[in-house]
Structure 1
Amino acid sequence: MTLQWQAAWVAVTTHPLFSVGVTLLAYQLGMTIYERARKVYLQPFLISVVTVISVLLACGVPYELYRTNTTLLTLLLGPATVALAVPLFLNLERIRQLFGPIMLTLLVAGTVTTLLGVVLGWLFGISEQLLMTLTPKSATSPIAMLVAEEIGGIAALAAVFVLLTGVLGAILGPVLLTRFGVQHPAARGMALGLTAHAVGTAQALQEGEECGAFSALAMSLMGVATAVLLPLVVTLLR
């Protein structure tokens, strides 16, 4: 009887619906906790990640199997990203009015946030390979992984740096912006999108449609700039 229960348990935990269900329930749990507590450090993304990891470890489900079983959810990331164009379209006139400041912010803030990571890494004496892995940390994971690999970094580790950057940016960003008196939705959105990419954009959408639109725009522009300019700059400096 025990062997039958073990076989049944293995069959349940290895089924694709188990991994998908755990992911969706973890996200719903994160959203519920955040909406009730309204604490910036209780990010739904962070709670979801911790919950999924805990369940997988407790059930003995290897990550490779989980990744395979959640392929459908991964495919849906594409349409979800494209859906960010909706708030952009709704705020298109506002974006046109602020086109100059947007480009200036991208140039200055994008350069500073990239150089800051490089300088801090260099001061702490990390290796060149690790430094190249850290450099594209403010872009979204797919872009950061490709760029890191192209300039001599480690793609898998780049995804970890992106994750940490996004979570810390979404947690500390709104607090710091409020502390320094930054209240304009467009300015807050640009700051969150440039520094904390998709996780920051999710936080910006919580603050409002305009804030989310400018965050999505900043995230997109930062991703394009990182993919096009960063490999070129690194090649020229070597």
Structure 2
Amino acid sequence: MSQPLIGISTYQEEARWGVWNLPAALVPAGYPKLVQRAGGLAALLPPDDPAAAAAAVARLDGLVIAGGADVQPARYGAEPHPRTGPPALDRDAWELALIEAALAGGVPLLGICRGLQLLNVVLGGTLVQHLDGHAGAPGVFDRHDIKPVPGTLLGRTLPEPVAVPTYHHQAVDRIGRGLVPSAYAEDGTIEALELPGAYGFTLAVQWHPEAGDDTRVMDALVAAAREAAAVK
């Protein structure tokens, strides 16, 4: 059975290795490892001109938008909260363009943490800029329970409540056009969104499956990408 090609967004940061201290295109290794464990081929997508997003996505069988920095509040018509992090303007532009290209082309899409927030913003939604209780100490994942909504794509993928790795301080506020919440935390925070209908597989989760052992969310993306590749 063929291995579908799954693109993973990356971002530019100063990085140090060996004798070098240079700008690098980065993503935590847990992302490609999760794709590989689920049976996909992982391809890292370095930041590029947003105009190149459609061509890049057209070559993929599936797309993952990785977690990371806060989305610039101006993208959803808000002023920055004092606790909102510095904007990553180039990353916002590139990943928003990737999401738009995946939606336009029907390419299976999985958003993770920031990826969920960007999907919501692309479709006209807004974000809560700060909440407590969804992250551990700086650089340490917390865990909390999420409850999937029965009958949704996520509910079929994760049919029971599960404890998930989490590290975020922002979340969905107003839900974007056509999106359906498909999991909640105990405090009511939306933990997953999906887009039913003609767009194909479009799912986003607020937690970090790449930081845990449960591959089921990525399994579902890879299965959808394999089906999409078969009809190209």
TM value normalised by structure 2? 0.28
Q: When you count strand as a share of all residues, which structure comes out higher?
A: 2
Ranked by relative contact order (alpha carbons within 8 Å, sequence separation 6 or more), the top structure is 2
Normalized per residue, which structure has more helix?
Answer: 1
TM-score of the superposed pair, with normalisation by structure 1: 0.27
Larger Rg: 1
